[in-house]
Structure 1
Amino acid sequence: MNTKHVFRTSIFMLTFFILSFVSCSDGNSIEEEEQAEDITELMRASEIDVVGEIVSDIIIDSYEIQENDELNRMVSSSSFLPSCVVVTIVAEQGFREVTLDFGTEGCIVNEHLLRGQIVFSYTRNTEVQEILISYSLIDFYFDTNNIIGSKTILRQLSNGNGNPQFTHNLDLTIVWPNGLQANREGVKVREWVEGFGSGIFSDNVFEITGNWTTTFVNGNQHTYEVLSPLRRQVICNYFLSGTVDVQRTNFGGTFDYGSGVCDNQATFTFNNGYQIDIILN
């Protein structure tokens, strides 16, 4: 999923909608300032969405390669991480610690410049059904933003549907260059519904559920809850389907990503029932 494209275009449409209300309120400078703040926070929240997805992708991808590559040739066998990432593996009896070092100059991953380190560890046991992966971000920067985080991803070999599943406990803080910061907490569950074990990256399909909250330093909160699973096919830039309830400071509504076709069509229905069409770039 190209999260960057999905959320930025949606925010543009929502911004247009909000400003249409502001323009009808002549002389109300306080309301205009509040609306401008909401729009800024919408944009900032979308950046956290992108950060969370890519950090999760990197850890999951690296874990799977580490476990499946008997020679530990992590980077050479990965189709996700670029060769500029320095991978260090500490292997002890039943324990693995993996350091992904993007360097001080950084490496480009999914069109973003990443700097610093992601370190994750886990106790290795091929017989258990669940593995807890603990990770930390060390002096980590996503483009120009400092990302602080230390949390876990629970890998289940088989969930109730018989599929592999990753449960990510989110706790990320992002600090922008201008000093603004926000914290994202919650749970995001990825069920691997197609392509597991095939060895072919392009046939992987995931369904994503969960809920999370973004809190800004001024106390404003944005809450998200997946109403129906977000279906993600890795060869498509967009969610194929799924709905998300979005409640923000002064308004809320539901994103609907369609009925299963890989296209750039979506809708947003506000709490008052007003619906707009969204074209995703």
Structure 2
Amino acid sequence: MKTNHFKNLLIPLLVLNVLVFNACSDEELIVENNSVDDVTEMSRAAEMDAMDVALGDLVVNAFEEQERGVLGRSSYNNNLPECVVITAVVEQNSVEVNIDFGTEGCLVNGNLIRGQIEISYTRNPEAMQMLINYNLVDFYFNNKNVAATRTILRERFNENGNPQFTHSLDVTVTWPNGLQASRSGEKVREWIEGFGSGTFNDNVFLITGFWNASFVNGNEHNYEVIEALRREIGCLYFVSGAVEVTRTNFAGVLDYGDGDCDALATFTFNNGVEIPINLD
């Protein structure tokens, strides 16, 4: 399982932020005096989405690598750049993994990251569930300070018989200009096809969950998956599923379609107005 492919999971939703704002302006659904704040907050929420995906990938990748037979070594190799130093300490069944990006930072998948991620868990290969804890230390993502102590619940098999990762999303982010926002929520990744096949290209995942962003001015942006988002590794976009979006000044449903691999989606406002969305 190479979880770095998950970095594209939320990209279509991020692109939608600006497109939906423009469409809402055309329909006069957003109060003009709030337009600048809305654009700024949507941009900040999109940055938090990208950070969430990157953090989840880094932690799960480190866990998977550690569980692939490198247990007991002080360091191991993976697909991260050489400027990232990973060390592991194992005492009986207790495992601690440190991912150090240095004080100057490393460029990882186009993102400048500095600081450390401290990961810990109790190893039990026979357990049906394993809780992965991680803490951010002096952590910066593209020059934004990120403070979080989070968990990922790894299930060998869920009620459908599929592997599953449940991510907590609690975090506080501070931008260089002092703007601050917090996020909470949960995201679940269910591996429904391709597990154990020996090839990665046939993997399919279903994504569910809910999350929000809260700003110091009291504004909130909320997202809830109301129809599971289907991610096929061979396609850049979600091929189906729907997300309910609630913003300070508008709300509606983003629909990714019924199974075709394309860059097309629709957004339906609560007043019934529907607009096409091109996710390219």
RMSD: 2.1
Q: Deviations over 1:157-192 (max 9, x none)?
A: 110010111111211111111111111101111111
| Matching of residue 190 in structure 1 with residue 189 in structure 2 | yes
For 1:28, the equivalent position in structure 2 comes to none
For 1:280, the equivalent position in structure 2 comes to 279
| Matching of residue 49 in structure 1 with residue 49 in structure 2 | yes
Q: Would the alpha carbon gap of residues 113 and 236 (structure 1) be closer, same or farther in structure 2, given more than 3 Å must change?
A: farther
Q: Is the 8 A contact 1:171 1:186 kept in 2?
A: yes
Q: Is the 8 A contact 1:3 1:49 kept in 2?
A: no
Distance 1:107 1:158 in 2: 35
**1:225-244 map, 5 Å:** 225-244=224-243
Distance 1:230 1:149 in 2: 26
Q: Would the alpha carbon gap of residues 203 and 115 (structure 1) be closer, same or farther in structure 2, given more than 3 Å must change?
A: farther
**Structure 2 length-normalised TM:** 0.90
For 1:152, the equivalent position in structure 2 comes to 151
Q: Is the 8 A contact 1:75 1:82 kept in 2?
A: no
Q: Would the alpha carbon gap of residues 126 and 45 (structure 1) be closer, same or farther in structure 2, given more than 3 Å must change?
A: same
**1:109-148 map, 5 Å:** 109-148=108-147
Q: Is the 8 A contact 1:265 1:278 kept in 2?
A: yes
Q: Is the 8 A contact 1:86 1:102 kept in 2?
A: yes
Letter of the aligned partner of 2:22 in structure 1? F
3-state SS of 2:137 partner: strand
| Matching of residue 10 in structure 1 with residue 16 in structure 2 | yes
3-state SS of 1:163 partner: coil
3-state SS of 1:237 partner: coil
Q: Is the 8 A contact 1:85 1:101 kept in 2?
A: yes
Q: Would the alpha carbon gap of residues 75 and 193 (structure 1) be closer, same or farther in structure 2, given more than 3 Å must change?
A: farther
3-state SS of 1:56 partner: helix
Q: Would the alpha carbon gap of residues 74 and 238 (structure 1) be closer, same or farther in structure 2, given more than 3 Å must change?
A: farther
**Structure 1 length-normalised TM:** 0.90
Q: Would the alpha carbon gap of residues 64 and 48 (structure 1) be closer, same or farther in structure 2, given more than 3 Å must change?
A: same
| Matching of residue 34 in structure 1 with residue 40 in structure 2 | no
For 2:178, the equivalent position in structure 1 comes to 179
Q: Is the 8 A contact 1:10 1:280 kept in 2?
A: yes
For 2:253, the equivalent position in structure 1 comes to 254
Q: Is the 8 A contact 1:212 1:224 kept in 2?
A: yes
3-state SS of 2:95 partner: strand
Distance 1:261 1:82 in 2: 35
Q: Would the alpha carbon gap of residues 234 and 140 (structure 1) be closer, same or farther in structure 2, given more than 3 Å must change?
A: farther
| Matching of residue 104 in structure 1 with residue 103 in structure 2 | yes
| Matching of residue 265 in structure 1 with residue 278 in structure 2 | no
Distance 1:49 1:165 in 2: 20
Q: Is the 8 A contact 1:172 1:183 kept in 2?
A: yes
Q: Deviations over 1:251-271 (max 9, x none)?
A: 111111122222211111111
Q: Is the 8 A contact 2:75 2:88 kept in 1?
A: no
Shift of 1:121: 0.4
3-state SS of 2:154 partner: strand
Q: Would the alpha carbon gap of residues 201 and 85 (structure 1) be closer, same or farther in structure 2, given more than 3 Å must change?
A: farther
Letter of the aligned partner of 1:93 in structure 2? Q
Q: Is the 8 A contact 1:4 1:47 kept in 2?
A: no
Q: Which moved more, 1:270-279 or 1:108-117?
A: 108-117
Q: Deviations over 1:51-88 (max 9, x none)?
A: 11110111112111111124659753x34x33331001
Structure 1 unaligned blocks of 5 or more: 26-30
Shift of 1:120: 0.8
Distance 1:113 1:234 in 2: 25
Shift of 1:119: 1.0
Q: Is the 8 A contact 2:18 2:39 kept in 1?
A: no
Distance 2:225 2:81 in 1: 32
Give the % identical residues: 51
Distance 2:74 2:91 in 1: 17
Shift of 1:148: 1.0
Q: How many pairs are equivalent?
A: 273
Structure 2 unaligned blocks of 5 or more: 1-5
Q: Is the 8 A contact 2:70 2:76 kept in 1?
A: no
Distance 1:180 1:3 in 2: 26
